[in-house]
Structure 1
Amino acid sequence: MTSLSILDLSPVPAGGSAAQSLRNSLDLARHADTLGFTRYWLAEHHNLANIASSAPDIMIGQIAAVTKNMRVGSGGVMLPNHAPLMVAERFKVLEALFPDRIDLGLGRAPGTDHVTSIALRRRQDVREDDDFLDRFQELLLLENNGFPKDHPFSSVHAMPNDVTLPPIFLLGSSDYSAQLAASIGAGFSFAHHFASHDAADAMRIYRERFQPSQHLAMPFAILATAAVVAENADEADHLASTIDLNFVRRAKGVYAPLESPEVAMAYDYSPADRERIKENRKRLSVGTPAMVKERLDALVETTLADEVMITTMLYDHEARKRSYTLLAEAFSLTAAHAKSPA
């Protein structure tokens, strides 16, 4: 049976507030915890008016405190924005408070625009090149006390030092993170909801090149994808129009709060806009519970994903909750599915 999880960006609707969106995430997490979802991951984005999820480590603690069944984690911490020691200590604290329930998902992108990424890192050694691998290796060395004795960091210990880091997942939208996750024996989560790279190819590379580690003996791959479920196909399509408009705006560099389906349906789309929507819908599962289950089952068969993680960016919070409820029912989830190990 396919395990299902949730990726939450705390979407901000037009006319709403980011503060309420964060509270909506707590409400959705409580609800999902009773439905049988395996994980609840929080994203990291900055300087975007339509996304309130900017501090996943804080939200992980809040959500873990009000749930009991699901694993809770980051999808992900954008490592270029953070000193590895801070990441290690924050997630060790979370693991200490909620043992065996925390996941550490790490991303390579900054999760924002170039100027904001500089503002995030201005007190660190800002580099123009990609230093994700350097930061990731530093994180592992801190965890394993692997610095040589003559290295300045050999005496630095991520506290609490009697707690290990939670399971590490590398996030990616191409084959780069798939290869890296395989080489160090970590879990892998592929961002099918926005990637142009073929998901099946990335998953195949990850499995073929996986090297067992002290943390993970076998490859474990999560497919993150977008879905909208409603009682009938017309209603699902209506709700998904919010995503259509959001995607068109993003392509033009506009990250406005999510509009209602009514506003989205009335929008004056150009032929190019409609072509973008058509292409994006290929990555989006929309319809009745049976329709979406069939689509997700096909994705699992193609990618051999061990788990599917669903993101649902809707204008109406109750519609978003209902979408996840219908999805859980379609897959016959129960609370017993939660806390599945990586």
Structure 2
Amino acid sequence: MPRKLSVLDLSPIPAGHTPTDALANSVDLARHAEAAGYHRYWLAEHHNTGMLACSAPELLITRIAAATTTLRVGSGGTMLPNHSPLKVAEVFRVLEAMFPGRIDLGLGRAPGTDPVTASALRRGAAGADDFPGQLADLVGYLKDVMPDGHPHARVRATPVGVPCPPIWILGSSLYGARVAAVNGFGFAYAHHIVPENAHAAMRLYREEFRASPFGHEPRAILAVSAICAPEEDEAERLAATADLSMMRTRTGRTRHPLPSVEEALAYVYQPEEEALRQYNRTRIHIGTPQALHAAIGTLADETLADEIMVTSQIHHHPYRVRSYQLLAQALMP
């Protein structure tokens, strides 16, 4: 079935380059993605890592939306427990006012970082782990429908009179699918984080979906990790970067930038590290356009995804751009 194709960008900082380079790469990739026919471009939120420059997705949204004309641009996601619901509502009202009809608000429950950093982000924020309550407040501010008796019922998210951007719930479990379904939000499943729950979560979302002012029918995105190259051997070589960076992240070594292929191929994995590397291969699609057309297309069919969103950790930026271009040719009619 025909599907839209989109980008999830973590703004990786390649070894030997600077955060400024990484952010410039994001803008360049967005322009290439737009030219290749991609539908939306989402920016992630991660903190306290030397590998990623995506600590402020709302700023990147502004830059990328200004550099493009047709892409929908949004957060993939804004990690709501890290923020005041009022502030999120105001930021996205400003974005929607600046770029009408092009902004998405993707929300996550995870911190996007380690527990200590999460504590620093949420310092002094009472109820920071109350995701349902925060979500209700955010919706109230965006729709100007705070319930009577709410302590902040008289507060308005400004500027007023701005339409609510589409809300999406990001998840890697049944919890996120259920939250999206009962509220009529869109749902984006993170197969690149937890592949095991993809089929069950996407099915539950459709089974439990309830129409609401936010959506009258299910809208499901399947987010996958992919590395595409003209030849299988080259794709495997490029994937060495993703293997090493994932292992380092999973073992708390977050100060490193995104390793080069040469550094990754030279790394000697210990047995427990090799087990993580092998697990990473269950979360990532690697190969030629023809191979990924079959693998990702089959997965999208099985999960009834309306849209495929791709993230790709490739050290050399031109190869990363080429990977997205090849995927566009393979996955879009």
- In the alignment, which residue of structure 2 is the partner of 1:231? 230
- Mean Cα displacement is larger for which, 114-123 or 27-36? 114-123
Q: Distance in 1 between matches of 2:213 and 2:25?
A: 37
Structure number with the bigger relative contact order (C-alpha 8 A, sep ≥ 6) is 1
Q: Distance in 2 between matches of 1:72 and 1:286?
A: 26
Letter of the aligned partner of 1:161 in structure 2?
V
Q: How does 1:169-184 map to 2 (within 5 A)?
A: 169-184=168-183
- In the alignment, which residue of structure 2 is the partner of 1:90? 91
On the 8 A contact 2:169/2:188 being kept in 1, the answer is yes
On the 8 A contact 1:174/1:197 being kept in 2, the answer is no
| SS of alignment partner, residue 34 of structure 1 | helix
Letter of the aligned partner of 1:293 in structure 2?
H
- In the alignment, which residue of structure 2 is the partner of 1:340? none
Give the CA deviation at 1:14: 1.4
* CA displacement 1:219-270 (0-9 Å, x = unmatched): 0110111000011000000000001111221221112111111111111112
Q: Percent identity?
A: 50
On the 8 A contact 1:145/1:154 being kept in 2, the answer is no
- In the alignment, which residue of structure 2 is the partner of 1:338? none
On the 8 A contact 1:170/1:181 being kept in 2, the answer is yes
The CA RMSD measured in Å over matched residues stands at 1.3
Letter of the aligned partner of 2:214 in structure 1?
H
Q: Distance in 1 between matches of 2:288 and 2:196?
A: 27
Q: Distance in 2 between matches of 1:332 and 1:176?
A: 30
Runs of 4+ in 1 over 6 A off after TM superposition: none
Q: Distance in 2 between matches of 1:170 and 1:232?
A: 36
The answer to whether residue 213 in structure 2 is matched with residue 214 in structure 1 is yes
Q: Distance in 2 between matches of 1:199 and 1:280?
A: 15
* CA displacement 1:8-59 (0-9 Å, x = unmatched): 0000111211121011101111111111001100000011110100111111
Q: TM-score, normalised by structure 1?
A: 0.94
| SS of alignment partner, residue 155 of structure 1 | coil
Q: Distance in 2 between matches of 1:332 and 1:193?
A: 20
Q: TM-score, normalised by structure 2?
A: 0.96
Structure 2 unaligned spans of 5+: none
* CA displacement 1:289-333 (0-9 Å, x = unmatched): 111111111111111111010000111111100100111122346
- In the alignment, which residue of structure 2 is the partner of 1:262? 262
| SS of alignment partner, residue 36 of structure 2 | coil
On the 8 A contact 2:183/2:214 being kept in 1, the answer is no
Q: Distance in 2 between matches of 1:257 and 1:97?
A: 33
Letter of the aligned partner of 2:140 in structure 1?
L
- In the alignment, which residue of structure 1 is the partner of 2:325? 325
Q: Distance in 2 between matches of 1:306 and 1:52?
A: 29
On the 8 A contact 2:107/2:167 being kept in 1, the answer is yes
* CA displacement 1:191-241 (0-9 Å, x = unmatched): 100115420100000000000011211001101110000110000000000
| SS of alignment partner, residue 253 of structure 2 | coil
Q: Distance in 2 between matches of 1:59 and 1:175?
A: 29
On the 8 A contact 2:224/2:309 being kept in 1, the answer is yes
Q: Distance in 1 between matches of 2:249 and 2:316?
A: 20
